[in-house]
Chains A and B, each alone.
Chain A
Amino acid sequence: MFSKQKPMWGEKTQLKSSYDAVIIGGGLHGLATAYYLAKEHGITDVAIIEKNYIGFGGAGRNTAIVRANQRTQHNVPLYNEALKLWPILTKELDYNLMFNNCGNLNLMHSEAAMKAARMTIATAQFHGVESHLIDAKEAKELVPALNISDDITFPIHGAMFHPPGGIVRHDAVVWGLARGANKYGVEIHQQTEATGIKTQNGKVTAVETSRGTINTKQVLISAGGYSAALIYGMLGIKLPISVLTIQAMVTQPLKPLLNHVVSSGAYHCYANQTLKGEVATGAHMDQWPNYTTQNTAHYIKHQAEALSEFLPCLRGVKFMRIWGGLADMTPDMAPIMDGNEHIEGFYMDCGWGYFGFKSCSAVGKYMAQFMAEKECPEILKPFNYRRYEKHQLMGETAALVNYTPDN
């Protein structure tokens, strides 16, 4: 992976002693921001520094689901734009991102859940996002494998159907954006750990790394689950974040049986069939903060029980792989994008929880605009860091089951 061979995105370059902008974290948000900085704003003297390899963190560990049926007015337009960007990016990057807009079916297991879904759907429709409420029979027509009988733990009352959502090949997005950004001159430095940010008179002056100091006036921390620890460690800024390990797994490959992403809040489980035929499934988060990304027998059992109830045809199917990633959860389940305030030239993009993948395209575009114009774009303003002390939490938590610790 770190051999002397040419990396997949382009030529290998020497780390310089200064750049116009430095991005800490070679994940999707960092790569997308660099791509748009170079493409839309002509800021091409950019270094992405990545401790491990690009796509090591959440970018390569999420379950690849994209959708725009969030709950609140500020979130829906951002995710909707992100969703609409997949086909555009596929063309722009000239890279097959394998966007499969198979639609998302979110199962509801009580009348209260149906009521909550009605509100979410009204919000989606108000913002021009296609989303419908359907009953159990219609859900069964969409996904014949569903068990809609009454004799399961949480019988299905109906579902929220969001046809424009689906699945995108997450690794392809990493590779496509890396190549796309590099084409405009962005440098990617793997195996380079950021160890500090230097400031002088309230302005960013340099980034300290394991391979020396890089002088720069602008730095973005978009390091996924590691962002909060980095931001506190480097600048002493505390964030309303709890970092939890989230687990996922895939079954052995099967013939096509699921042509929509199916998810359930009550069972705390979602499943989609990848183009290879594996059923990718997940949702469980450890209920205490940790950075282990390890798996638990507790969860494998939970997942098997949940899946074999609402998709009984999966009984006896074997799990093939299991993994974990980090989710940086905020109390209102919405991210924090802010910067250039206390410290001139410092930007942060974090708190995405498990929404970092589905948002990366649009966020890259707007974080790039933020860094280029040094003025927060309207669409990102509601996600500011000060909203917590102003009691302006976003209320994305309607369908929350029992994610802890803070919410």
Chain B
Amino acid sequence: MALTITCPICGKRNGYEFRYGGEDKGPRPEEAGITPEIWCDYVHMNKCVAGVQKEWWFHKDGCGSWFSIHRDTTTNLEVKGPEADK
């Protein structure tokens, strides 16, 4: 499915220039007292939302930026994030 991604530096570009970087899972867990369960949750586990999710992208064939956007996974369209994220 066709997709365009808005890179903060290069602007709106063809989705194939980018690499998907996973769901935004918040900060990396603290190392102190970490359990295999917490680490696994951070590394592997996804919510697989059918709807809007916040996610990471890497502009691999462009400026090399890492950034996050909100996208509706049922339409492949970028959307504005909730107010809290602004």
Contacts and interface: CB of A to CB of B under 8 A. Distances in A.
Given A287-B20, A292-B76, A404-B20, A388 B1 contact: no
Contacts of B9: none
A288 B75 contact: no
Contacts of A228: 46, 48
Nearest to A298: B16
B67 interface: no
Nearest to A237: B45
A391 to B, nearest CB: 8
B12 to A, nearest CB: 16
B48 A229 contact: yes
A223 to B, nearest CB: 11
B85 interface: no
A241 interface: yes
Contacts of A290: 1, 3, 73-74, 76
Nearest to A324: B1
A267 interface: no
A276 interface: no
B41 A238 contact: yes
Given A287-B20, A390-B36, A405-B20, A292 B74 contact: yes
Contact of B75 (A229, A245, A292): A292
A370 interface: no
A155 B36 CA distance: 44
B84 interface: no
14 contacts: A229-B47, A240-B44, A242-B46, A245-B1, A287-B19, A290-B1, A290-B73, A290-B76, A292-B76, A389-B40, A390-B36, A405-B19, A405-B21, A405-B22
Interface of A: 226, 228-229, 232, 238-243, 245, 286-292, 294-298, 324, 328, 331, 388-391, 404-406
